[in-house]
């Protein structure tokens, strides 16, 4: 048997490469006025990633400029780019979102944040990978989270999802249930900022998020009622503008179709397009009378969704719905109360022969559920709660009917794993919808094939 050579962590070759890289890094960082004033107190979080750009979010300890150095070379010996300088200002709670441009598709970048000398600062490298070009065909997984515990507990599911090396990670609502539109009074924007700092780093689950997701995996978020501000909240909430401002301060998003409107957006990853709906800021009150005018989306978002579905060249079109979609699912605070608008969307998709539509929904706090379309028009996966323990039933008391089942009465913590697979021989694509426990174990699985 051949003996394995002992790994040499500081071989002469490796050490010299490191020193050369460090030299390049110093030159690049200080070739124009350095900005190393504040320390990073939160982040980095990488988001808004496409095949050519991305955004790095950080929060600093004091006002000042911040930027990012990034390179395809992990030692920064070549191909070093320096972002524009962004100001972290008191008026935006010392947050900054730094755009990275001119990126190559499906390429891994190492980056360093030009801030502070502390443990998260310029001395610490991070890495993320850009998306492949739209319509290229790839095998990839992505992970989806929903509904975190109100109490301060860890979220082991982040680490378990990370073990699958997801192409990106989504959190589709109730990242926190602290109801910042109500608690604590008086209601100020600080309520939302405090909540965002918790989920991104200051709580036990936030620390897991920071460790296993934030800096390395492109991250996409949308709110549901409890992180928008209050239970079952809608467009009439008096604090809507505060909630919106704080969200935009803390979460890097792709370009929004209507920056003056709500938070909805879409993004592409290879043969998939993901339509992320904002089901709170435009929503009519749940108790408004049913009818063709009643809307969860609002006119502008609905037109964008329908146009986007029709125009999409993606094989898979994921609709992210923080509220339950299944018409035989939870009867309250769900699409069941907006059935006319839901029918309009379904009819539009059917009339125009749009294929590959799949719904990923949140809100139920279950161990995860899947429907093949029998009860939900399209295949739907209800995402498990992330770290809520000892939950014994779905929110609202009813899980509804799901063709592939829904798990409840068990510890529901977990996540959804969406696995896109392309068969090079046949040219066919298939999709595995999976719900997994917080340890990564498989719970439910359903195969979707294109017609
Ligand atoms: Fe929730």
Helices assigned H by DSSP within 125-239: 156-162, 189-197, 204-209, 225-228
- 432 Cα–ligand 1 center, Å: 25
Strand partners, 97: 57
Nearest by Cα to 234 from 172, 326, 328, 297 = 297
Cα 388 to Cα 367: distance, rounded to the nearest angstrom: 10
Q: Where are the domains of the chain?
A: 16-25+32-129, 140-449
C-alpha to C-alpha distance for 222 and 276, rounded to whole angstroms: 7
Per-residue pLDDT at 410: 75
- Bridge partner residues of 59 (DSSP): 42, 95
Q: Ligand 1 centre and the CA of 226: distance in Å? A: 7
What would the pLDDT profile of 294-320 be if each residue is shown by its tens digit?
999 999 999 999 999 999 999 999 999
CATH-assigned architecture of domain 16-25+32-129: Sandwich (2.60)
Q: Residue 232's closest CA among 323, 315, 316, 167?
A: 323
Among the listed residues 302, 298, 296, the one whose alpha carbon sits nearest the alpha carbon of residue 322: 296
Cα 179 to ligand 1 centroid, rounded to whole Å: 11
Quote the pLDDT of residue 176: 96
Q: In the chain, what are the helix, strand and coil shares in percent, each to the nearest 5?
A: 25, 25, 50
Residues of the chain with confidence (pLDDT) below 50: 1-10, 17, 20, 33
Distance 388 CA to ligand 1 centre (A): 10
User: Which two tokens mark 149?
Assistant: 């515990």
Structure tokens at 428: 């066919």
Residue-wise DSSP of 324-347: ---TTS--SSSGGGGHHHHHHHHH
**In 3D, which of 112, 104, 145, 108 has the Cα closest to residue 43?**
112
Indicate the burial class of 421 (C-beta count within 10 angstroms; 0-12, 13-18, 19 or more).
middle
394 alpha carbon – ligand 1 mean position (Å): 10
Are residues 384 and 435 in contact, defined by beta-carbon separation less than 8 angstroms? yes
Report the separation in Å between the CA atom of 147 and the middle of ligand 1, taken as the mean of its atom positions. Answer: 5
How far does the centroid of ligand 1 lie from the alpha carbon of residue 344, in Å? 26
Phi then psi dihedrals of residue 364, to 5 deg? -80, -20
Helix (H, G, I), strand (E, B) or coil at 198: helix
Report how far ligand 1's centroid is from the alpha carbon of 381 (Å). 16
CATH architecture type of domain 140-449: 4-Layer Sandwich (3.60)
> What is the distance in A from the centroid of ligand 1 to the CA of 219?
19
- The stretches of 316-402 forming alpha helices (DSSP H) are 339-351
229 Cα to the center of ligand 1, angstroms:
12
């Amino acid at each position: 048997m051949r003996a394995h050579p002992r790994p040499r962590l500081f071989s002469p070759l490796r050490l010299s490469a490191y020193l050369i890289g460090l030299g390049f890094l110093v030159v690049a960082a200080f070739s124009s006025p350095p900005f190393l004033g504040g320390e990073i107190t939160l982040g980095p979080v990488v988001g808004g990633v496409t095949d050519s750009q991305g955004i790095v979010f950080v929060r600093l300890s004091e006002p000042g400029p911040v930027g990012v150095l990034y390179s395809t070379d992990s030692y920064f010996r070549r191909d070093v780019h320096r972002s524009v300088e962004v100001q972290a200002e008191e008026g935006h709670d010392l947050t900054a979102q730094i755009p990275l441009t001119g990126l190559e598709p499906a390429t891994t970048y190492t980056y360093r944040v030009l801030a502070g000398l502390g443990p998260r600062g310029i001395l610490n490298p991070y890495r993320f990978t850009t998306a492949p070009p739209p319509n290229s065909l790839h095998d990839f997984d992505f992970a989806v989270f929903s509904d975190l515990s109100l109490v301060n507990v860890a979220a082991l599911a982040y680490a378990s999802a990370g073990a699958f090396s997801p192409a990106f990670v989504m959190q589709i609502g109730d990242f926190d249930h602290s109801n910042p539109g109500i608690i604590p009074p008086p209601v100020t924007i600080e309520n939302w900022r405090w909540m965002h700092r918790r989920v991104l780093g200051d709580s036990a689950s936030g620390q897991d998020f920071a460790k296993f997701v934030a800096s390395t995996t492109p991250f996409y978020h949308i709110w549901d009622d409890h992180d928008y501000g209050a239970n079952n909240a809608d467009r009439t909430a008096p604090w809507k503008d505060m909630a919106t401002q704080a969200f935009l301060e803390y979460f890097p998003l792709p370009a929004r179709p209507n920056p003056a409107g709500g938070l909805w957006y879409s993004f592409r990853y290879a043969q998939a397009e993901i339509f992320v709906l904002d089901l709170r800021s435009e929503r009519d009150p749940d108790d408004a009378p049913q009818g063709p005018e009643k809307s969860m989306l609002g006119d502008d978002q609905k037109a964008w969704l329908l146009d986007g579905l029709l125009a999409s060249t993606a094989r898979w079109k994921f609709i992210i719905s923080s509220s339950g979609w299944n018409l035989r699912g939870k009867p309250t605070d769900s699409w069941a109360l907006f059935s006319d608008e839901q029918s309009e969307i379904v009819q539009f998709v059917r009339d125009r022969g749009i294929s590959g539509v799949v719904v990923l929904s949140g809100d139920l706090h279950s161990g995860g559920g899947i429907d093949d379309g029998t009860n939900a028009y399209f295949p739907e996966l209800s995402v498990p709660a992330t770290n809520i323990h000892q939950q014994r039933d779905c929110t609202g008391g009813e899980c509804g009917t799901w063709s592939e089942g829904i798990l409840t009465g068990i510890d529901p913590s977990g996540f959804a794993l969406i696995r896109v697979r392309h068969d090079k021989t046949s040219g066919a694509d298939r999709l595995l919808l999976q719900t997994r426990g917080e340890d990564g174990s498989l719970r439910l699985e359903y195969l979707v094939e294109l017609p």
